[in-house]
Structures are given as structure tokens and as C-alpha cells.
Amino acid sequence: MRRGWKMALSGGLRCCRRVLSWVPVLIIVLVVLWSYYAYVFELCLVTVLSPAEKVIYLILYHAIFVFFAWTYWKSIFTLPQRPNQKFHLSYTDKERYKNEERPEVQKQMLVDMAKKLPVYTRTGSGAVRFCDRCHLIKPDRCHHCSVCAMCVLKMDHHCPWVNNCIGFSNYKFFLQFLAYSVLYCLYIATTVFSYFIKYWRGELPSVRSKFHVLFLLFVACMFFVSLVILFGYHCWLVSRNKTTLEAFCTPVFTSGPEKNGFNLGFIKNIQQVFGDNKKFWLIPIGSSPGDGHSFPMRSMNESQNPLLANEEPWEDNEDDSRDYPEGSSSLAVESET
């Protein structure tokens, strides 16, 4: 009886957690809907008097708004990609691993299994990266998200503002969402500012639109500052071909720790996220190269470009088995084991 109550309580808590996880998304949606109303109706249709100015403002606004909403939708509803079946332990191997009590033998079993896979990263102690929750050998740059309860390919972080884990399948969309969010806030702030000054000086009558226009400028500036910092940080990560987790915890290869292990050079680093075809860089459609299970490494490119070998190696040594329980990075939350 007690066990049944515990299971029911646990299920109820999980259900509440899933519902509450959508609260940040709901907040963003409500703010965006209000900003749409305030800009289109209260500013353009009521406050702005020039017909030509109204048309120009509305056309440019809706062009930016479409891409902003499109990328936000893609960031939320593009599911994180899991490792494929060949990285999972077979039933026989899983039973052998679980029944083996000697840690050194378990470690050797994982080493033997990893020889058949394109896996080149290790834990800080040099062991094969293994997820004991998903029962799989982690591909390079893959991590377990404790919020999503799954291993995510090229995991960057878990973001509560999109209620999704950002990784290989949707990192491009997340970057585009940040870019169009910055552009959205900047456009609103620059076009509203002149009318903010007019209301401030009393050149326009104090009507209901005054509140919306004044508050619209305040909200746009507030979000712009926070978003431009976060976007700038992720631009830096892309230029170095790093994830947020790799920026905090240096990846360890079979040869040792190397903070620039995936750095291929500025242009190639960008192509690792956006693809080779530049006409798709601004459009939220999947164009990232590869399947998310393996990635070109710096060591493989040094023979083609010897200048890559001139940078100093990284000296930190962090254990990959470390757990990250929902720590925060600006507007994002990292949650990885």
C-alpha cells in the first residue's frame, strides 16, 4: 500500500514538474504577444500619424517578427537527438557489466567495447565515458541531461526559456533565435525612442498609448542588454567550436586534456554549426554537417594546417563524470552528468 502511494506521489511530482517547466516559455510568449499589440496597434496605428511611416514600420516589424517567432518555435519543438543504438550496451554486455563487482574489470570491458566505436574523448581519469543511467558509451561531446533524463548529442545546455535541451539538433536554431531576439528588441527600441521623447516632453497627448509606448521601450532595452550579452558569449563559443559545457570543463582526449581539441579555424568552426551553404545560415532549417556522433578534431587538421599546432595546450584536467545540477549561464541552465 505504501509503495503504491509512493509511486503515485512520484508520478504526481513528475507531472507537476513538467507543467511548471512551461512557465518560463509562457512568460516569454505573453511578453511577445503584448509587445506585438503595443507596437502594431498602440504605436503604429494610434500614435504614428504619417501613413508612409506606418507602412514602413509595420513591414519591417513583421519581417523581423516572423523570423523571431519561427526560430523560437524551432528551438522549443526540435527534439534533442539521442545516441543511436550502436552506442548502447547489448543486453548481454549490460548484464555482464552490472554483475561484475571489480571496477578495474568493468573499466576494461568498456575499453574493449569502445574500440569498435568512433570515440576519442575520455573522463578526467582517462576512463571511457559511460552513462550508467542510459547504459551507453557516450559519443564525443555527448552528455546526460538530468532535466531531460537522457543523453544528448553535442549537448550545450538545458535552457528553461525554451524548455528544451540545446544540442546538435537545435543549436543552430537557438543561435538564430538569440540573433533575431536581439534584432527584434533593437528595432523596437530605435523606432519607439522618438515617440518616447515626444511623450516625455508633452508633445503628444497623454492617452492610453503613452503607457504602452513608454513601457515598450523599457522592456525592449532591458531584454536587449541581457540578450546581446548571451548572444555575444555564444558567438565566441561558435568561433572556438566549443559548447557551454566544454567552456567550463575542458574535454579530455586519449592524448590528454585539450581545450582547443575541436577548434578547426574560424570559418570551419562556423560551418560546423551552420553548414557549408551560406544561403541557409539565416534560415531556421537543419544544415549542420554530420550526424552528431563524431566530429572532426584539431589533431586531424594539423597536418593540413601546421599553424594550428602553435597555440599553447590547455592544462586543466576535469573529470567528465562530474554532475552539473541545473547551474545557470545568463539566461541558460546547464544540467549534465
Domain locations in the chain as residue ranges: 15-79+169-222, 85-162, 246-304
Once rounded to an integer, what is the mean pLDDT over residues 44-50?
92
Residues in the chain, total = 337
Highest mean pLDDT out of 123-132, 178-187, 254-263: 178-187
pLDDT at 1: 57
Q: Rounded mean pLDDT of the chain?
A: 87
Residue 325 pLDDT > 70, yes or no? no
pLDDT at 17: 85
The per-type count for the chain, helices as H runs and strands as E runs, is 10, 11
pLDDT at 18: 86
Once rounded to an integer, what is the mean pLDDT over residues 268-278?
96
Once rounded to an integer, what is the mean pLDDT over residues 156-178?
97
Residue 3 pLDDT > 70, yes or no? no
Once rounded to an integer, what is the mean pLDDT over residues 33-46?
95
Once rounded to an integer, what is the mean pLDDT over residues 140-159?
96
SS3 category, 148: coil
Which band of pLDDT confidence, cut at 50, 70 and 90, is reported for residue 298?
A: confident
Cβ-contact 24, 159 below 8 angstroms: no
Query: What pTM was estimated for this model as a whole?
Result: 0.85
Once rounded to an integer, what is the mean pLDDT over residues 299-306?
56
Which band of pLDDT confidence, cut at 50, 70 and 90, is reported for residue 7?
A: low
Residue written as cell 568512433? 118
- Strand intervals (E) in the chain: 121-122, 130-131, 136-137, 143-145, 150-152, 157-159, 164-166, 252-253, 256-257, 324-329, 332-336
Q: Is 126 left (phi over 0), alpha (psi -120 to 50) or beta?
A: left
Could you confirm whether 142 is annotated as catalytic? no
pLDDT at 20: 92
Residue 311 pLDDT > 50, yes or no? no
- Please pick, among 142, 159, 165, 185, the residue that the annotation labels catalytic: 159
Cβ-contact 179, 38 below 8 angstroms: no
Which band of pLDDT confidence, cut at 50, 70 and 90, is reported for residue 334?
A: very low
Cβ-contact 248, 334 below 8 angstroms: yes
Tally of CB atoms within 10 A around 303: 9
Q: Report how far apart, in Å, the C-alpha atoms of 193 and of each of 55, 65, 72, 217, 226 are.
A: 18, 19, 26, 7, 19
193-247 residue pLDDT tens: 999 998 888 888 867 888 899 999 999 999 999 999 999 999 999 999 999 999 9
Q: Cell numbers of 170, please? A: 537545435
